[in-house]
Amino acid sequence: MYSFLPAVAEQLFKDIQKTYQETSQIPDDLLLALKFVFGSCALQALDLVDQRSVTCVSSPSGRKAFQVMGGSGRLYTCFMSCHFCPCPAFAHTVLRRNEGPLCKHILAVYLCQAMGVTQQESVSDQQMSMLLSGTEIL
């Protein structure tokens, strides 16, 4: 069902990156495209972006994960390399029902990266191991 989505999404993020670098805004046509491609989670993801809720956590060994503070105040660790988020919406909507390609947390990570507004946090390799094992560090 979503066989076309990766190319469409990739181009959409490239367009957002280009226009955001030039204008510090996402134009209406790209906002509509986000809503069309990603549905209702697009607005929720944009809200997370506005709140600066996404942090890229990196360690000296080169490991990287993204932590997203959800609207409920819960911290979710998203792994882009395997396209995974531990939130209930990802488990229900993406994995169980196959109703969408991602959750608002993963979309917020992609948007923050495209816009260049991701918070950065450096941690030790030991702290990264704790994060990867499921222990929240931020």
What tens digit of pLDDT does each residue of 53-100 get?
999 999 999 999 999 998 888 999 988 777 889 999 889 888 888 777
Q: Tell me how far CA of residue 77 lies from CA of 20, 35, 117, 132, in angstroms.
A: 26, 24, 17, 8
Is residue 98 left, alpha or beta, with left meaning phi > 0 and alpha meaning psi from -120 to 50?
Answer: left
CA distance 32 to 35: 5
User: Could you tell me if 105 and 76 are in contact, meaning their C-beta atoms sit under 8 angstroms apart?
Assistant: yes
Residue 5 has pLDDT above 80, yes or no: no
Q: Residue 66 pairs with which residues in a beta bridge? A: 56, 78
CA distance 18 to 76: 28
pLDDT attached to residue 2: 33
CA distance 102 to 54: 16
Q: Count CB neighbours of 63 within 10 A.
A: 15
Q: What percent of the chain has pLDDT over 70?
A: 93
Hey, where are the domains in the chain?
A: 5-132
pLDDT attached to residue 138: 53
